[in-house]
Amino acid sequence: MIMNETQIKIRNVIIKAKNLNLKPEEIKGENIIKELGISSVDALEILIGIENEFDITINDEDLSQELVASCDNLEQYINKQKAAHAV
Summarize pLDDT for 31-85 with one digit per residue, the tens.
Answer: 999 999 999 999 999 999 999 999 999 999 999 989 999 999 999 999 999 998 8
DSSP SS3 for 50? helix
Q: What is the pLDDT, as a whole number, of residue 6?
A: 96
Q: Which domains does the chain have, with CATH numbers?
A: 5-17+27-86 (1.10.1200.10)
Cα–Cα distance between 32 and 57 in angstroms, integer? 21
Dihedral angle, C-alpha 42, 59, 49, 67, nearest 10 °: 50
Could you tell me the pTM of the whole model? Answer: 0.92
